[in-house]
Amino acid sequence: MVKYELLAEQLKIEGIVEDLEWVRPDVIHTEAIHRAHSPSYVETLEGGLWTKQEERQSGFPWSAELIHREKVIMEGTRMCAQWAAQGKVGLNIAGGTHHAYRDHAEGFCLLNDLAIAAYDLIDSGLERILIVDLDVHHGNGTAEIVGQDPRIFTFSMHGAKNYPMKKPPSTLDIALPDQTGDGDYLALLDDALNTIFTSFRPQVALFQCGVDVLVSDKLGRLSLSLQGCAQRDHMVFSACKDAGIGVACAMGGGYSKDVNTIVKAHTNTFRIARDVWT
Ligand SMILES: [Zn+2]
């Protein structure tokens, strides 16, 4: 996708790459995938054994390159999460594939990097993982995979009328009306983060920071400004920093007509992360 190339370019131009460590991940181990996905599904995925309907539901035509790319993205978020476990910030230039279920692909998401990373952290001995999903679309796959697991708090704040129609319950869901703007959005987020950090006391956070919340987005139905979106990111990063925990980010969606707007919003996320952490 062109936005990822442009984002990498912009991060270099602004010198953000030099300030953050830049890593190219390998593919993720199958064992890590199996913590969040059924082995039979992974076999279907790897073997190109999708039915026509499964392929349609995924949003992609199957190819070996597609699966390879997805596994690299999974490893990226997994590595970011391990940095986060050390109190640092890690940002995946892609990822945030929150529509992938335990045993099927959906909405351009084949494997769920947030769920995989959360269970990888649990395997490393952590006990309280927070997933903050602020993409405009509900984190349906993550909610289904994690279910009622008390070790993982899933928080999704999304457009009430957006895809997906079926929204399995997160630990906390905030469904927003169409055209919600900066003021109401940020007040609700601030309130929710305060409650979560006080009651759940996460040891580490995973942040799906989709920028399809922007007013310019073709698919989102909310009305955040670029500045409001940046304030959103700052709020999440500051909450983590103040609580003394690290955070791993996965970029998520962004479908503004002008690709430069998308790149600007994602670049803001990287810049704010750097500024809060340095
Ligand atoms: Zn989205």
Task: Yes or no: say if 58 and 50 are a contact pair by the CB < 8 Å rule.
Answer: yes
The DSSP symbol for 103 reads S
Q: List the shell of residues around ion ligand 1, using CB closer than 5 Å.
A: 135, 137, 210, 212, 253
Q: Annotated catalytic residue: which of 37, 99, 104, 158?
A: 99
Residues 201-239: pLDDT tens digits? 999 999 999 999 999 999 999 999 999 999 999 999 999
Task: Give the residue among 120, 123, 124, 143 at the shortest CA–CA distance from 133.
Answer: 143
Task: Yes or no: say if 78 and 12 are a contact pair by the CB < 8 Å rule.
Answer: no
For 245, the token pair is 């925990």
Mean pLDDT (whole number) for 35-47:
97
Cα-to-centroid distance, 252 and ligand 1 (Å):
6
The per-residue pLDDT for 271 is: 96
Is residue 104 among the annotated active site residues?
no
The per-residue pLDDT for 182 is: 98
What are the CA-CA distances from residue 276 to residues 9, 79, 88, 227, 245 (Å)? Answer: 22, 20, 11, 16, 12
For 62, the token pair is 């199957």
For 187, the token pair is 């007040």
pTM of the model: 0.97
Q: How many whole angstroms separate alpha carbon 34 and alpha carbon 145?
A: 11
The per-residue pLDDT for 60 is: 94
Cα-to-centroid distance, 164 and ligand 1 (Å):
10
Residues 102-161: pLDDT tens digits? 999 999 999 999 999 999 999 999 999 999 999 999 999 999 999 999 999 999 999 999
| 19 pLDDT more than 80 | no
| 1 pLDDT more than 90 | no
**Helix, strand, coil abundance in the chain, percent, nearest 5:** 45, 15, 40
Residues 44-55: pLDDT tens digits? 999 999 999 999
Residues 72-107: pLDDT tens digits? 999 999 999 999 999 999 999 999 999 999 999 999
The per-residue pLDDT for 22 is: 87
The per-residue pLDDT for 18 is: 79
**Please, which pLDDT band fits residue 277 given cuts at 50, 70 and 90?**
confident
CA-based angle 89:126:247, to the nearest 5? 15
Domain residue limits, the chain: 2-277
DSSP H stretches of helix in the chain = 2-13, 16-19, 30-34, 39-47, 52-58, 64-84, 113-123, 140-146, 182-199, 226-243, 259-277
b/e map of 82-119 (b: 16 or more CB within 10 Å)?
A: bbbbeebbbbbbbbbbbbbbeebbbbebbbbbbbbbbb
Mean pLDDT (whole number) for 33-38:
98
Cα-to-centroid distance, 36 and ligand 1 (Å):
21
| Matching CATH number, 2-277, of 3.40.140.10, 1.10.3720.10, 3.40.50.720, 3.40.800.20 | 3.40.800.20
